[in-house]
Structure 1
Amino acid sequence: MLKEIIVSEDDYESRAALLENKVLAELFIERKSERYILGNIYKGRVTSVLPGMQAAFVDIGLDRNAFLHVSDVAHHLEEFDDFDDTIKEENKSSEQKKNEHKKADHPSIRDLLKKGQEVLVQIDKEPMDTKGPRVTAYITLPGRYLVYMPTVEHIGVSRKIEDDAERQRLKELIEKIRPNKNQGFIVRTAAAGKGEDEFRSDIKFLMDHWEKINQRSINAPAPSLIHEDLGLIYRVIRDIFTQEVSQFLIDSKTEYDRILEFLDSLLPALKNKVKLYDKEEPIFEFYGIEKQIKKALRQKIWLKSGGHIIINQTEALVSIDVNTGKYVGKENADETILKTNIEAVSEIARQLRLRDLGGIIIVDFIDMDKEEHKNKVLKTMEEALKRDRSRTNILQITDLGLVEMTRQRTKPSLGSMLCEPCPYCQGDGIVLSQESTSISILREIKAVCAKYNEKHIKVFASPPVADRLMEEYKEGIKELELRLNTKISVAEDPDLHIE
């Protein structure tokens, strides 16, 4: 697979696109006017403890207090099983999967935190809508090959590394070379096949970094910012720029020079892949990325077969509906449905990554009668989601063809970042039809005449509604004029909303 990273940098935004075979797979955006805090570490002060919610609110110096749940204060090692799970997902029974999601028993939040107590926390989720950020007391510092966990004694291996022998080798190697047995590490996907030298270098860098953060936090007041994570471009380099990427292209000479300097100490072997884009045409236009971003904001996505999927994002969940559309197939109905569902799976997996949709997701596949077809769709979906860097969990397909799943959400989705509610419908997605609005106006005329006995009523309406009143309701208006003994005139006002 051809992988490319395309970066656009201007006075307003930093944008980075991951292309897979020229198709937009992931998009990262950071605006200069907004403050991104995911991964930042703060020294905060507990403002309130809520036993009923098993949570506390912490003042970290931002506009809104941060939310700290008991599970982010008192850990259980099974919470890190998402990284270290040698049982293959497909070999787990449905009962095992259910048990993984039962809430762990935690001590009371009152036994762990007190009002006024100072705590060191890290941003786990960006603020969203009216909610403040979510924080955790379990600090994680990502390096190139390892994630350092100074407060946890666990060694984990990314689930994306599937080979059992390699997982065991990595785990034993980190256990052997970690300097402090009371601190933990997670082996990242990029570490597959790497040796002791790379890990020792990463461990030294991360532990030195933590020592500086820890020292800074001792004398800092609460609340205060202790550590700020890297900017977008450098997070992309750290997290997804690997040897598999054929080129890293950027349109800013200033950032190009900084990247080369950054790679000198971190990843010198990748410097030759970094190129400066110097054409007149904007880089995202040249690579067709702008068009793909616009498509990613649409509700309906057409499939090559003629079928389509419809994605609706609400505050509670994301619903995805699969339809055959124009596709009728050459085989029987069962095969047509299966083919559409299978084709939809790869597009759904791509859209989840691209739009960064998280939380609860319900996929309504076209109903399948055969159990083997349902299993095939589910298996295909599990495979398609393996490329997703965010944690996902898929439950069984129901008799109605519904698949429930969850996807890790750490920041607002692409749609939430780039769009805002329609000023006409206030985000409802619907407005009154022209006919309904016209009828409502005629009723209002009756009410006004009955109350005020007006002799002349002038109606101002949006052009389409005014046209409908003057054409389709022309006779009805004449009858009203005779019945109410009043003159009714209609005028267009292009500034008026349809309702």
Structure 2
Amino acid sequence: MTDIQNNTKEIMIVHDDPGIETRIAILENGRLEELYTERTRSATGVGNIYKGRVTNVESAIQAAFIEYGGAQRGFLHVTDLHPRYFPGKETSERVGKKIPKHNRPPIQKCLKRGDEVLVQVLKEGIGTKGPTLTSYLSIPGRLSVMMPFMDKVGVSRKIEDESDRKKMRKILDTLNLPDGFGFILRTAGLGKTKIDVKRDIAYLIRLWKLIEKRIDNVGAPCQLYNESDLLVRTIRDILRPSIDVIVVDSESSYERITSFLKIAAPRSSRKIIQYRDASPIFHAFDIEKQIDEIHCREVDLPSGGRLVIDQTEALVAIDVNSGKSRGAKNSEANAVNTNLEAADAICRHLRLRDLGGIVINDLIDMGQSSNRRKVEKRFQENLERDRARSTVLPISRFGLMEMTRQRIRPSVLDSHYAACSQCDGRGNVKTTEEVAADATRHCGWLLHHENVRRVELTCSASVGTFLLSNKRGELDAYEQRSKKRIVVRISEELAKDRLIYYAYDARGADIELETLVASKPLSIAALIKADNSYVADEENSEEKTGRRRSRRRGKKNLPLAEAASISAGADLQEELDSLDKVKPEVKQGKKQQLRKGVKKEETPADSAMRVFQFARSIGKSSKEVLEQCKQEGFAVRNHMSTMTSEIITKLKEGFEELVEKKKPRRRRRRKNNRTKKSSDAVATTTTTETAPVDTNKTATENKEVKKKSKKSRSRYTSNRSRKKANAADAKETVETKVEVVEPKKKARKTLYGGRRRSVTTDEVQASRDSRA
């Protein structure tokens, strides 16, 4: 078989297991390019024609649902409704020129419930969606397609050469075609003679006459025409001149293909070979390995990059990754190289996997627009050989290429895979912690029913271990609150996320869980009523016991720290500032007007208190207290957090140290400027009782000091006028020195700090000295 692969470009491999499965592969230079699979039990219904009955008309979506004999009702949109069903005079349409939607009457005026309509399956249903139907009937042949109730003829859009289109249209114009039928010449008819086309059209007309007889004789719903099986459809629709050899492993398939080609293409020179070796034909041509790649989520690219293909119900997402691709000179060249390889691989896998609908390709970002156009052109070239119609949009600014592809049949994922029974098709299961939490909550819900006395839970080993260890406290709390039992049983056969519940009544009889009615959601009015009744019961109990209930007036209960921490940013700052503001006490004489029975607010002691309370007691803001806590390394989060007595004591000591540090230091006097005797005189004045002063001695000492340090003292003395020292004013001289030692603070309007900054006399003199 390797000789056949080497000598031919394209070959068709047919593996037919009669009554079970048929697989057809098309190889190009040994590489799998197209794959078609059909099982007898799940044969597609696309192309079948039915006589159906209208079951429902939905004006909101302008569609009707048709009962045609399938498992699900078909969907017929107003755009797929033939004009012969329009009210009034019957009208026809030209081939290839559909009436636009805005010119069509509403579907509720065209169809009514119970009406019979001829429909054809256009697309298979996906999941819960039924198949898409159309009333534009078409019966394909080898070279042409016949469309009943249509007018005129046409040529396939895939033939773009204008000269070829004119030749094919000329052949159709010379034929004597019946009225009321439209014909389209297919790409397979290119280069065929007039006799070949006439023979094909005659076969289709005979087939339609048989369908017409069934329309008149059978009722709805009923099948009128059954499309050929995969083997005949592939030979009829896909067989192209470039395929030279057909290899078949079944004798019955060999005879069917030979007889069909004698009728449809008698002049065909293709070789039909029957495969007789013992090994499977797909293994002999190395096709099985390539089929395995179709079922993988990731696809490797030749240069080291890779594709990640994810199919969802809404769209198909394909991510392009550079991976190990490092052969290019720079990042731009590497991105272009990888994207070009990805374009070939994406278009190939769209065909092999039968992916349709919306496709989003996340390409590697490219800086140059010319490179983006190059990648877009490569996509267009690869999609030309695809039978399904597709539309490609330019690459967006985010590097995404959006495209749509016609969905002809179910994808490989839908036809070969079923949803996982463990994860329900999500691909993920809940963690052990989440399953255990759900089980705990559900057991609590079951216990709140009055007739339930015991609940048994069967779960996996991992979940059961977690419940009996980490969730033991919650289960015990439910049991104590309800005075009922919860039993946990472990089963090795259950999956991790599977739980089975059993409920029993007081007699031990089993209770069906479906009969347990969910409780109605509580209303705010019911909660308020319950709260009022609770308060009234407390008051009645206090009256009986003789105790008076303490009622709090004024401020409401403060919220917990966790609730207050929700506010953040500017809101938290505003809340801190508002709590720090202390209203001044209004005094009326010696007595304050206080309400009777209300005690004065006591200063909080060093016991545990909240941050804002402590800040208020020491005359600080909450923000300053929080900053001090942060410096001390205390774990205090916000102004509502509670602090212990130890933290409060340490904070007080810290604030006292800060106060001591901020106190102004006394300036040291130079020894040359002051004598011991003068300092003694100053110290003497600071006492409460003034000692008797020898005026003559003091005056003499002052004169000597003034003579010795006249220049040095002049820099530190103020501008006040000095009086001569004598016996009468000796005491005044000493008092003046005291004012110099402990200067009063004066407000300066303009000196570095602005109007509000208080500056000492020493600072003023120091600034003058620096200028000098």
TM-score of the superposed pair, with normalisation by structure 2: 0.55
> Which secondary structure does the structure 2 equivalent of 1:393 belong to?
strand
What RMSD in Å do the two structures reach over aligned CA positions?
3.4
1:371 is aligned, of 369, 372, 376, to 369
CA distance in 2, matches of 1:27, 1:186: 27
Query: What residue number does 1:120 align with?
Result: 118
2:403 is aligned, of 400, 405, 410, to 405
Query: What residue number does 1:232 align with?
Result: 230
Question: Shift in Å at residue 157 of structure 1?
Answer: 2.2
1:108 is aligned, of 106, 116, 129, to 106
Q: How does 1:424-463 map to 2 (within 5 A)?
A: 424-432=422-430, 436-437=431-432, 460-461=461-462
Query: What residue number does 2:78 align with?
Result: 70
Structure holding more strand per residue: 1
Partner amino acid, structure 2, of 1:351:
H
1:4 aligns with 2:11: yes
Query: What residue number does 1:338 align with?
Result: 336
Q: Structure 1 311/447 Cα, relative in aligned 2: closer, same or farther at 3 Å?
A: closer
Query: What residue number does 1:25 align with?
Result: 33
Q: Deviations for 1:425-456, whole angstroms, at most 9, x for unmatched residues?
A: 22212335xxx53x55887999999999xxxx
Q: Structure 1 269/111 Cα, relative in aligned 2: closer, same or farther at 3 Å?
A: same
Partner amino acid, structure 2, of 1:196:
K
Query: What residue number does 1:210 align with?
Result: 208
CA distance in 1, matches of 2:292, 2:71: 32
Q: Deviations for 1:37-78, whole angstroms, at most 9, x for unmatched residues?
A: 111111111122222111111111222221111111146979
Structure 1 unpaired stretches of 5+: 83-99, 470-476, 485-490
8 Å contact from structure 1 (residues 260, 271) kept in 2: no
Partner amino acid, structure 2, of 1:460:
A
Q: Structure 1 376/26 Cα, relative in aligned 2: closer, same or farther at 3 Å?
A: same
Q: Deviations for 1:370-415, whole angstroms, at most 9, x for unmatched residues?
A: 1111111111101110010011111222111111111111321111
2:278 is aligned, of 269, 277, 280, to 280
8 Å contact from structure 1 (residues 67, 134) kept in 2: yes
8 Å contact from structure 1 (residues 128, 411) kept in 2: no
8 Å contact from structure 2 (residues 419, 425) kept in 1: yes
Q: Structure 1 334/264 Cα, relative in aligned 2: closer, same or farther at 3 Å?
A: same
Q: Structure 1 125/330 Cα, relative in aligned 2: closer, same or farther at 3 Å?
A: closer
Q: Deviations for 1:256-278, whole angstroms, at most 9, x for unmatched residues?
A: 22322222222233475221111
CA distance in 1, matches of 2:43, 2:163: 43
Question: Shift in Å at residue 142 of structure 1?
Answer: 0.7
1:37 aligns with 2:38: no
Q: Structure 1 155/63 Cα, relative in aligned 2: closer, same or farther at 3 Å?
A: same
CA distance in 2, matches of 1:441, 1:219: 60
Query: What residue number does 2:149 align with?
Result: 151
1:306 is aligned, of 304, 308, 324, to 304
CA distance in 2, matches of 1:126, 1:261: 30
Which is worse superposed, 403-412 or 8-17? 8-17
8 Å contact from structure 1 (residues 147, 186) kept in 2: yes
8 Å contact from structure 1 (residues 302, 308) kept in 2: yes
> Which secondary structure does the structure 1 equivalent of 2:384 belong to?
helix
Question: Shift in Å at residue 366 of structure 1?
Answer: 0.9
> Which secondary structure does the structure 2 equivalent of 1:315 belong to?
coil
8 Å contact from structure 2 (residues 94, 151) kept in 1: no
Query: What residue number does 2:182 align with?
Result: 184
Q: Structure 1 63/268 Cα, relative in aligned 2: closer, same or farther at 3 Å?
A: same
> Which secondary structure does the structure 1 equivalent of 2:307 belong to?
strand
CA distance in 2, matches of 1:269, 1:195: 11
> Which secondary structure does the structure 2 equivalent of 1:285 belong to?
helix
Question: Shift in Å at residue 215 of structure 1?
Answer: 2.3
Q: Structure 1 305/119 Cα, relative in aligned 2: closer, same or farther at 3 Å?
A: same
Q: Structure 1 40/445 Cα, relative in aligned 2: closer, same or farther at 3 Å?
A: closer
Partner amino acid, structure 2, of 1:80:
G
8 Å contact from structure 1 (residues 178, 203) kept in 2: no
Q: Deviations for 1:179-215, whole angstroms, at most 9, x for unmatched residues?
A: 1354222221112222211111111111221122122
Structure 2 unpaired stretches of 5+: 1-7, 84-91, 448-452, 477-488, 498-772
Partner amino acid, structure 1, of 2:428:
I
8 Å contact from structure 1 (residues 395, 403) kept in 2: yes
8 Å contact from structure 2 (residues 244, 270) kept in 1: no
Q: Deviations for 1:297-338, whole angstroms, at most 9, x for unmatched residues?
A: 111101010001111110011111111011123311111101
8 Å contact from structure 1 (residues 74, 106) kept in 2: no
Partner amino acid, structure 1, of 2:255:
D
2:22 is aligned, of 14, 21, 24, to 14
TM-score of the superposed pair, with normalisation by structure 1: 0.83
1:258 is aligned, of 256, 259, 266, to 256
Query: What residue number does 2:384 align with?
Result: 386
Partner amino acid, structure 1, of 2:253:
E
8 Å contact from structure 1 (residues 149, 184) kept in 2: yes
Q: Structure 1 441/400 Cα, relative in aligned 2: closer, same or farther at 3 Å?
A: closer
> Which secondary structure does the structure 2 equivalent of 1:237 belong to?
helix
CA distance in 1, matches of 2:77, 2:106: 11
Query: Which structure has the bigger radius of gyration?
Result: 2
Percent same amino acid among aligned pairs? 39
Q: Aligned pair count?
A: 457
CA distance in 2, matches of 1:46, 1:143: 30
More relative contact order, 1 or 2 (CA 8 Å, 6+ apart):
1
